[in-house]
Amino acid sequence: MPLKYTLFPYCLIMCVLFVSGCGLATKTPVPYQPRPTISEPTITPKPTRLPVKAVSTEQVTLECAETTGTIEQGSVENGLPDKPMRYKVYLPPCYSFDPSQRYPVVYLLHGQNSTEEQWIRIGAVSAADQIIVQEQYLPFIIVFPFDYSFKQPREYNFEDVFINTLIPTIDTVYRTQANASGRSIGGLSRGGAWALRLGTLYPDMFGAIGGHSPAIFFADDHALKRRLLTDVRDKLPHLWLDVGTNDSEYALILSFDKFLSDNNIPHEYHEYAGWHDEKYWSAHVKEYLLWYVQNWK
């Protein structure tokens, strides 16, 4: 093959390169454009479930919707010769809501021929619910012990079991204010006699004593007055007496009120129309509980 045909492709390539280098076939330059900035995606965190009672900076106030208390029961099985000391306990609405809260407690004793159900029957529980929920007084616990006997105090050991077993049991099982300022005692008829006896024998344990138509123990009459004049005169718990004007104990209770007044022993005395019966006590049960509540303020 002649040399001119062999060199033709080579010359063609060189010509193209020469033309490109001389700018005869250049492209229009593109202006510089900076690369756009790409923002990081915004991520919305999922909500975190917080503890029930706390958020980061503020305490959440939760409201309890309970409007009625609850009743529990138990018994002190040893110490009494014939029957155990049964008891019922009223726990106020929302008792289980705040496990750190402690409550004042009132021990309410029934009358003779009755049981620990008597105070419940005359309306103490419904009155307590109303006082706490509707009238927004300080919530409290009520203990209703059972006294099966007709005996006088020294004839059996109710007193010892009550003071040394029942009260420590209640203070252990329930969140009570376990001191005199947070503990009261009261009773109907025979229960009122027990309240006067125990409250004056153990003034360091009770801040208030309620005698509602108290049938004062005949074996305790002189000793009770002596204690009031000497042993507990300067540290007597708040004292309440009331009686119906047709009550069979009216004259004795009126005489006891006169003794207290003559000796300048602080107390409240009230008398109303009525008899020594549940109709009378039921009519005043809310008033009784309000008096105990006010002594806890």
CATH at residue 282: 3.40.50.1820
Element (H, E) at 261: helix 250-262
Nearest to 172 by CA among 267, 254, 74: 74
pLDDT at 227 over 80: yes
Which tokens go with 188?
């109907």
Domain annotation covers residue 181: yes
Mean pLDDT of 209-221: 93
216 within domain boundaries: yes
Lowest model confidence (mean pLDDT) among 36-50, 62-76, 105-119, 270-284: 36-50
Does residue 296 contact residue 210 with C-beta atoms inside 8 Å?
no
In a domain, 55, yes or no: no
Q: How large a percentage of the chain has pLDDT more than 90?
A: 66
pLDDT in tens, 271-284: 999 999 999 999 99
The parent domain of residue 200 ranges over 72-295
pLDDT of residue 197: 97
Confidence of residue 32 (pLDDT cuts 50, 70, 90): very low
195, 152 Cβ separation under 8 angstroms? no
The tokens for 91 are 């726990």
Tokens of 39: 């923002």
Among the listed residues 188, 217, 216, 220, the one whose alpha carbon sits nearest the alpha carbon of residue 114: 188
Q: State how many domains the chain has.
A: 1
Helix axes 221-229, 190-201, angle to 10 degrees: 40
pTM (whole model) above 0.85: no
Q: Are 275 and 244 in contact (CB under 8 A)?
A: yes
Looking at the predicted structure, is the pLDDT value of residue 235 above 70? yes
- 2 in any annotated domain: no
Residue 52 lies in a domain: no
Does the residue 231 lie in any domain?
yes
Let me know if residue 49 belongs to a domain: no
Residue 195 lies in a domain: yes
What pLDDT digit, counting tens, does each position of 132-144 carry? 999 889 999 999 9
Report whether pLDDT(15) > 90: no
